[in-house]
Amino acid sequence: QKEVEQDPGPLSVPEGAIVSLNCTYSNSAFQYFMWYRQYSRKGPELLMYTYSSGNKEDGRFTAQVDKSSKYISLFIRDSQPSDSATYLCAMSAQIDMRFGAGTRLTVKP
Amino acid sequence: SAVISQKPSRDICQRGTSLTIQCQVDSQVTMMFWYRQQPGQSLTLIATANQGSEATYESGFVIDKFPISRPNLTFSTLTVSNMSPEDSSIYLCSVDRGYGYTFGSGTRLTVV
């Protein structure tokens, strides 16, 4: 079993749709949870950072962490074509970070 | 937040040769991380580079194949040695911001 599981997609939605991206993990020691966005031919950029369980909202983006279920989510409201990218979840206990394989998202105008 | 300049952005290399990738950070950082990103797979940590000490390599990666230099707190290089087509991948450097990592733009390596 992989330490972090993420559905690679691809996921295609129409503009304006609500997007839900998810990851599951097996290591209960993880405390820090992140979502990265990676455009083609670019390095990943940090989108959301969450500590422990709970929700965090930033504009159209909401990150949720459920440590009891070992499940994290990223919601994108009113999705835009500019949101088309690969989204990677990441998590760590202290320094050692583990990444999901990434979900490729396409938002069609 | 830290800004990382990584080069080259891409290269096509002959098998058996070596390529050195450079990363320059605009602020001093204790640790720099080198990752490999293969298509459809998660980022895999190659090694952690500390200034003034030997790099720490993850399982499956060895210093002879991926020598790393860290001459100061703002610069690091990763060399991919004696390349084979299996080394074709994206290589990324990163630093810890304290709330997530900042990544370089990546080096897309193709070995022919």
pLDDT in tens, A27-64: 999 999 999 999 988 899 999 999 888 899 999 999 99
Per-residue confidence (pLDDT) for residue A8, from 0 to 100:
80
Cβ distance A108 to A13 under 8 Å? yes
- CB atoms A98 and B42 under 8 Å: yes
Subunit contact A101:B40, Cβ cutoff 8 A: yes
Confidence label for A13 from pLDDT (cuts 50, 70 and 90)? very high
Q: What is the pLDDT of residue A41?
A: 85
Question: Which pair of structure tokens corresponds to residue A10?
Answer: 């691809």
Is residue B26 scored above 70 in pLDDT? Answer: yes
Q: Measure the CA–CA gap between B35 and B51, rounded to whole angstroms.
A: 18
Strand stretches in B2-112, DSSP E: 4-7, 10-13, 19-25, 31-37, 43-50, 56-57, 68-72, 75-80, 89-96, 101-103, 107-111
**Chain-chain contact of A90 with B100 (C-beta, under 8 angstroms):** yes
- What's the confidence (pLDDT) of residue B52? 82
Structure tokens at A58: 């930033």
Q: Quick check: B95 pLDDT over 70?
A: yes
B1 falls in which pLDDT band (50, 70, 90)? low
Mutate to test the interface with B, among A41, A74, A91 (most CBs of B within 10 A): A41
CB contacts of B96 in chain A (<8 Å) are 95
The model's pLDDT over B29-86, given as tens digits with 9 standing for 90+, comes to 999 999 999 987 889 999 999 888 889 999 999 999 999 999 999 999 999 999 999 9
pLDDT of residue B40: 76
Residue A95 has pLDDT above 90, yes or no: no
Closest chain A CA to residue B109: A41
**B108 at interface of A, judged by CB pairs closer than 8 A:** yes
